[in-house]
Amino acid sequence: MDKSYLKRLSYLLFAPLLFVSVASAETGNAIPVPHEGWDHLWLEMMIDIVAIGIIFALVTIYLLVKYRRKNPNDIGEAKPMSALSVMGWVLIPAFVFIADDVYLGVKNMKHYLEFRRPPENSYTVSVDAYMWGYDITYPEGVITSNELRVPVGRPIKVNLTSRDVVHTLYIPDMRTKWDALPGKQMFLWFNPDKIGEHVMTCTEYCGMLHSGMHGKIIVMPEKEFAKWVEENKPKPQLQEPAPAKAPAQPQTEVKTEGGKI
């Protein structure tokens, strides 16, 4: 193969990766979405697998055709390979696989670290998991069970605890989940960007009624959410006025023959 052919082949194979990288950089969203980075990484991995698979398939087909038996009486012969050829056939494929694995691993760690840093403007709620349900506490003091209401367009941070065994908070539509451990506070966050209802459920086996441990997330317009919180937050208790003290009775003297009493 001449150098120009190899150059065109390399452009053909690596152009999709360059396109994906540029597209992922240009389609940044003002509101972060945790799973977006893994979406792009998954696409890149699929392209890598297909590209490497095609290369090895073409090499295999080429060798099968070139060195096929021409007639039944042919006897194959193995020509000795130089040390440089042996090193090339061993190290180049190994380098391709290792470099690709390292690249994907580094990007995966980058996305993981981003996922573990919730945005500063996140609305924080606490979820206490138990057998078999979720108690949700809002910062305004509202408490609900198995129903999490959130405003649309604002990142939500969920502080997770468990009062008995290991549970999980899994939100399929948001493609996020995390374990709730007894005696330890964990967290996850998600960005509800569309109004509607979503399922939340436990994916860690936690006893006989594990399959019934689920609830829903209701994403509401911000004004409706604020109104709902205002209507359901605890009202301040008005203290009843203390009863008025009875006026002191004036002391009277009773005179007896022996004196005063």
* pLDDT tens digits, 167-213: 999 999 988 999 999 999 999 999 998 899 999 999 999 999 999 99
The 10 Å CB-count burial string (b at 16+, else e) for 147-164 is: ebbbbbebbbbbbbbbee
Question: Which CATH class for the 123-232 domain?
Answer: mainly beta
Instruction: Check residue 173 and report its DSSP letter.
Output: G
Q: How confident is the model at residue 242 (pLDDT cuts 50, 70, 90)?
A: low
Give residues with Cβ within 8 angstroms of 76, minimum separation 6.
Answer: 67, 69
More confident residue, 256 or 26: 256
pLDDT tens string 209-218: 999 999 999 9
The stretch 79-95 carries a mean pLDDT of 86
Mean pLDDT to the nearest integer, 219-233: 93
CA-nearest of 197, 190, 200, 195 to 136 is 200
Over residues 38-66, mean pLDDT: 89
Q: What percent of the chain has pLDDT over 70?
A: 79
The predicted structure's pLDDT at residue 74:
77
pLDDT of residue 25: 45
Binned at pLDDT 50, 70 and 90, residue 252 comes out as: low
**Model pTM score:** 0.66
- Domains of the chain, by residue range, sit at 3-67+83-115, 123-232
Res. 11 pLDDT band, cuts 50 70 90: very low
Phi-psi region of 233 (alpha: psi -120 to 50; beta: other; left: phi over 0): beta
